[in-house]
Structure 1
Amino acid sequence: SNQVHQSPASLYKNQGKSAKTECSHSISSYNRILWYKQSNYRELVFLGYMLLKAGYPEAGFDIEGDANAGGTSTLTINQLTPNSSAVYYCAASLHSASDLLSALQKPPPWCTVD
């Protein structure tokens, strides 16, 4: 069956340390894993994504792994602060060649360009 798994279920670390959470999926055609953070029941904040074997994290995060089916992606939160306390989510999706072409032409709606 097509499933997405995340572990550990909960994690407690001291301020200044780093923390890691892992996501895996079994959806054969999906090759992207997206990461989000939700603090205090507010909106989801996009943290970055893994496409195939390349990670594209936002500042302060690292993303690595292999987003293909059966692969895993690891999100690392660097230098924990009280603001790091949140619920972290992952999601799997399909990234097609047409997505890549449109991304080369203009940023997707969820991207921020500085």
Structure 2
Amino acid sequence: TPHRVLCLAKGNEVTQSPEVLHQLKGYNAQINCKHTKDFTYSQMYWYRQLPGEGMKQIIYITTTNKPEYSGGFSDVKFSANKTVAESGSFTVKKLETGDSGMYFCAVSEHSDTEDKYSCTKTSLTASW
């Protein structure tokens, strides 16, 4: 089932940096995400959208749990870090051409909710 990622009307409650990331092949690329909602929003989700494809969830992480990977994704390629409720980071390891795409961060209050809040994306390009 497709995940519903809502964009908040106010807009800037979830921010991601950098917005555009060019990184050399073979290196790691790190994306950071933070939000200004309260500390109960401790769930963080990372998604990827490759050209011509839909958005796919890669990782779900909280401040207390290790990352949980979604279908087919693993720690061989991706990692996430989250020590506080308000922010977290996501890393794509050893960049390849096929990793180029849009990466999204979303946050929610409970893991079982469909309402995940995000207005953010990072365009990642693997370059020579």
Provide the TM-score with structure 1 as the length reference: 0.74
Mapped to 2, the partners of 1:4 and 1:16 lie a distance apart of: 29
How big is the shift at 1:54?
3.3
Q: Summarize deviations over 1:6-48 as a string: whole Å, max 9, x none.
A: 0001010111111000001111131111000001142111110
SS in 2 for 1:27: coil
Structure 2: gaps of 5 or more residues: 1-9, 113-128
Mapped to 1, the partners of 2:58 and 2:84 lie a distance apart of: 15
Q: Summarize deviations over 1:71-98 as a string: whole Å, max 9, x none.
A: 21100000111111010000010126xx
Aligned residue pairs: how many? 95
Identity of aligned pairs, percent?
A: 27
> Which structure has the larger Rg?
1
The residue that corresponds to 1:62 in the other structure is 79
Provide the TM-score with structure 2 as the length reference: 0.66
How big is the shift at 1:53?
4.2
Superposed, 1:15-94 pairs within 5 Å as 15-28=25-38, 29-58=40-69, 59=74, 60-66=77-83, 68=85, 71-94=86-109
Per chain length, whose mean CA-contact separation is higher, i.e. which structure has more relative contact order (CA < 8 Å, sep 6+)? Answer: 2
Partners of 2:62 and 2:82 within 8 A in 1: no
